[in-house]
Amino acid sequence: MQELTHYMNGEHVKGTSGRFADVFNPATGEVQAKCPLASTDEMARAVDFAAAAQPAWGAVNPQRRARVMMEFVRLLNRDMDKLAEALSREHGKTLPDAKGDVQRGLEVVEYCIGAPQLLKGEFTDSAGPGIDMYSMRQPLGVTAGITPFNFPAMIPMWMFAPAIACGNAFILKPSERDPSVPLMLAELMEEAGAPKGILQVVNGDKEAVDAIIDHPVIQSIGFVGSTPIAEYIYGRGCSNGKRVQCFGGAKNHMIIMPDADMDQAADALVGAGYGAAGERCMAISVAVPVGDETADRLIEKLVPRIEKLKVGPYTAGDDVDYGPVVTAAAKEKILGLVQSGVDQGAELVVDGRDFNLQGYEDGFFIGPHLFDRVTPDMDIYQQEIFGPVLSTVRAGSYEEALQLAMDHEMGNGTAIFTRDGDAARDFAARVNVGMIGVNVPIPVPLAYHTFGGWKKSAFGDLNQHGPDAFKFYTRTKTVTARWPSGIKEGGEFNFKAMD
């Protein structure tokens, strides 16, 4: 069985803690590798390497750092198939989904090629008599990121690409469930020209996370995961004087107005609700049709589409709509929430509990589920399921539908499907959610805008990627300079005035 490593100072390094996590093949249920779990001492070693490498990298001009990003993009495109296959093998998502995972991270790297422009400061000539004023954006130093299992390529690149483009060193603590792709990305960054120690991958669990939070040299922390852990890291990290951005869970609503194109809405819900087995923080997990007639028409459109979904291993190619969930524990949790929905009175219109894939009986596959007549007090509405489960909550009016999204404690993303521009405009203006889709089910902004939710979906003042990333990974220094004039009346230079 393969024993994975850490990646420190340009080398693959075996773990020394003696602790390991199992890395599964989700399609078969078999353990395919062991992932080392770093000790506090191992994390401290990585920090030492990063601290030694960062000053020289921070002194490299932004244009040269941008060239490293350009080469990294070329290498990502070169190795796209290899990265996607490794990602699918450990995560379980289909190859098209895996390539999309890499591609969305690559697009942030492309944005970081603009570092020379994005890092420019401001200048005011003659702010006062003989006084000039200017600002500089300077790197923080050693930065770190803690990333989730569901996007093992995209989210690490969302963090380390802008951090490194800004002149920082970066320590990545990826999910121990699918760590191979982050290790491959670190290799590619060095091949692209990043110095040793600038990007390091340290695998681990809570001990490694706490070591990041508490290490005095680490200046900033990025996190994506569940809300309870986001709150924990944010609170403890801020109390240690670090700059912290943490992104938590989601419960994304999609409002379907009576005038919506019902075929378009149904197609959107199937893709957004069941793609990647629902293991996406931007997945639509709650459909909110306005009016019983709209709800009945929507359910009628959804059922045949959902029943035709093909579930299988990534090795089946393009013939599969989604694959297994990541672990047996994840499968057990999802099915437990499905059962709670049945017990609490929701109508299970499509029941995927008995799904069984011949030849893959031990895999972590779950059939698609569709609930109707869900109410806001039910567990399947309150909790993030993170699986192929779509809940339908019927709203009597537009205002009731809007209030559902506004009252939920999560505020990551939401969408409205309608032909009415006034309703769409009102919804976008009023709803207290960070990312809004208008006839777009998964409103993830492109790399040159910022990504981030509201309420208990996000903690911190700045979002991920886009302009906010360059603010998060730099400090602003403002200089006020006064140069006494040495010019006499008539234009003659007076050297004594400069003494």
- Region 39-67: mean pLDDT is 98
Residue 255, pLDDT score:
98
Identify whether residues 281 and 234 lie together within a single domain: no
Residue 489 located in a structural domain: no
Q: Is 166 a catalytic residue?
A: no
**How confident is residue 493, by pLDDT bands cut at 50, 70 and 90?**
low
Same domain, 281 and 217: no
Q: What is the pLDDT of residues 93-109, one digit of tens each?
A: 999 999 999 999 999 99
Residues 313-329: what's their mean pLDDT?
A: 93
Q: Are residues 390 and 474 in the same domain?
A: no
Give the mean pLDDT of the chain.
Answer: 95
Average pLDDT over residues 63-87: 98
Tokens 């030492």 -> residue: 48
CATH number at residue 194: 3.40.605.10
Q: Is 488 a member of any domain?
A: no
**Do 138 and 166 share a domain, yes or no?**
yes
pLDDT tops 70 at residue 428: yes
CATH number of the domain within which 293 lies: 3.40.309.10
Indicate if 273 and 346 belong to the same structural domain.
yes
Same domain, 187 and 320: no
- Predicted confidence at residue 129, as pLDDT, reads 86
Domains identified in the chain, total number: 2
Does residue 91 lie in a domain region?
A: yes
Judged against a pLDDT cut of 90, whether residue 193 lies above it is answered with yes
Check whether residue 286 and residue 346 sit in a common domain: yes
Q: Are residues 220 and 295 in the same domain?
A: no
Q: Tell me the pLDDT band of 373, cut-offs 50, 70 and 90.
A: very high
What is the residue range of 258's domain? 252-438
Q: Do 163 and 38 share a domain, yes or no? A: yes
Q: Determine what percent of the chain is predicted with pLDDT higher than 70.
A: 97
**Residue 347 falls within a domain, yes or no?**
yes
* 421 and 470 assigned to the same domain: no
pLDDT surpassing 90 at residue 484:
no
pLDDT for residue 498 is more than 50: no
Q: Residue 456: inside a domain, yes or no? A: no
25 and 124, same domain (yes or no): yes
Q: Which of 35, 112, 166, 281 is catalytic?
A: 281
- Percent of all residues in the chain with a pLDDT value above 90, rounded to a whole number: 94
Domain identity same for 244 and 261: no
Q: What is the mean pLDDT of residues 146-150?
A: 97
Tell whether the model's pLDDT for residue 499 goes beyond 90: no
Is residue 491 domain-resident? no
